[in-house]
């Protein structure tokens, strides 16, 4: 079951009838309350007034999520730099761990901000498939909208974002709906559940994120869907507990990629 939390929908500061109608459409889509912004209602005020954990805000720059920890909006972030490095044939540990190549079918079970999915889509190209699963309704919505509408300077990056198929679902439940061998590799990055520091730009996402731990049962379910499963973690012992027999990563990096094959 997906993590449940209370949220409402409103608009940004600018008085825009089109944005108001769009926000009302979103509210109807999610079955939540649309809150009129008014002239004096700050987002913090509305958050307290409506007694919700988050606000989905319609703005001229796309959907944003406001929580007590700050504001989140889509940006390809590290994917921009990683794609630039790949174009220069520089190494990328994620790509190496998944052994990515054109035409591959990749299932990312923890979409999050979609940086890894974008990199995978860039490498697998037009003949490949990248499907990204996200259990948080707000995170899925904002990132999915961003992947389809964000305009980067790099045309290849834009094309990679547009090719990604996103799914709103709990990963373990979604895996059981898929045919056997429908993907070449399944990827998990459960690291978001571990706080890095209090000032992290990820903090606004924590109230709306899914922090369900990854289990060996889910990894086994993934092995039915693909012959190879890759897990990103900070501890080698955690990877070994999930049945990973190959460990990859930078010599001086705490981040490791565990690989489990059939």
Q: Pick from 92, 18, 9, 86: which is nearest to 52 by CA? A: 9
Domain boundary at 56, 73, 90, which?
73
Q: Pick from 156, 71, 145: which is nearest to 114 by CA? A: 145
Residue 108's CATH number: 3.40.50.150
Tell me: do 55 and 82 sit in the same domain: no
Residue 33 and residue 130: Cα distance in Å, rounded? 33
Residue 58's CATH number: 3.40.50.10480
Q: What is the pTM of this model?
A: 0.92
Compute how many other C-beta atoms are within 10 angstroms of the C-beta atom of residue 15.
10
User: Which residues of the chain fall below pLDDT 50?
Assistant: 1-2, 194-199
pLDDT at 1: 44
Range of the domain at 36: 7-73
Tell me: do 166 and 204 sit in the same domain: yes
Total number of domains in the chain? 2
pLDDT at 198: 47
Tell me: do 201 and 160 sit in the same domain: yes
Tell me: do 160 and 49 sit in the same domain: no
At 30 the three-state DSSP class reads helix
pLDDT at 199: 42
In a domain, 137, yes or no: yes
pLDDT at 192: 54
Q: Which helix (H) or strand (E) holds 26?
A: helix 17-30
Query: Could you give the angle at which helices 115-124 and 78-87 cross, rounded to 10 degrees?
Result: 30
**Cα–Cα distance list, 113 to 49, 224, 230, 241 (Å):** 29, 26, 18, 26
Domain boundary at 73, 93, 120, which?
73
In a domain, 107, yes or no: yes
In a domain, 2, yes or no: no
pLDDT at 175: 98
pLDDT at 212: 83
Tell me: do 93 and 21 sit in the same domain: no
Tell me: do 23 and 149 sit in the same domain: no
Compute how many other C-beta atoms are within 10 angstroms of the C-beta atom of residue 42.
12
């Amino acid at each position: 079951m997906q993590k449940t939390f209370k949220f409402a929908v409103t608009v940004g500061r600018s008085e825009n009838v089109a944005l108001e109608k769009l926000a009302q459409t979103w509210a109807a889509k999610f079955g939540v309350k649309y809150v009129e912004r008014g002239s004096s209602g700050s987002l913090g005020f509305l958050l307290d007034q409506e007694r919700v954990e988050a606000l989905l805000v319609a703005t001229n720059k796309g959907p944003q999520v406001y929580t007590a920890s700050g504001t989140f909006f889509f940006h390809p972030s590290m994917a921009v730099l990683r794609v630039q490095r790949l174009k220069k044939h520089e190494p990328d540990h994620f790509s190496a761990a998944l052994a990515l190549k054109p035409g591959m079918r990749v299932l990312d079970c923890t979409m999050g901000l979609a940086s890894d999915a974008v990199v995978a889509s860039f490498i697998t190209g037009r003949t490949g498939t990248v499907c990204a699963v996200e259990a948080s309704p707000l995170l899925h919505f904002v990132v999915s909208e961003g992947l389809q509408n964000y305009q980067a300077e790099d045309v290849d990056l834009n094309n990679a974002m547009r090719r990604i198929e996103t799914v709103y679902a709990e990963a373990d439940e979604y895996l059981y709906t898929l045919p056997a061998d429908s993907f070449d590799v399944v990827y998990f990055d459960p690291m978001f559940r571990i706080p890095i520091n209090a000032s992290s730009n990820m903090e606004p996402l924590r109230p709306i994120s899914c922090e369900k731990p990854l289990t060996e049962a889910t990894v086994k379910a993934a092995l039915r869907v693909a012959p190879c499963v890759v897990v990103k973690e900070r501890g080698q012992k955690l990877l070994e507990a999930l049945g990973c027999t190959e460990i990859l990563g930078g010599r001086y990096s705490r981040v490791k990629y565990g690989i489990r094959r059939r």
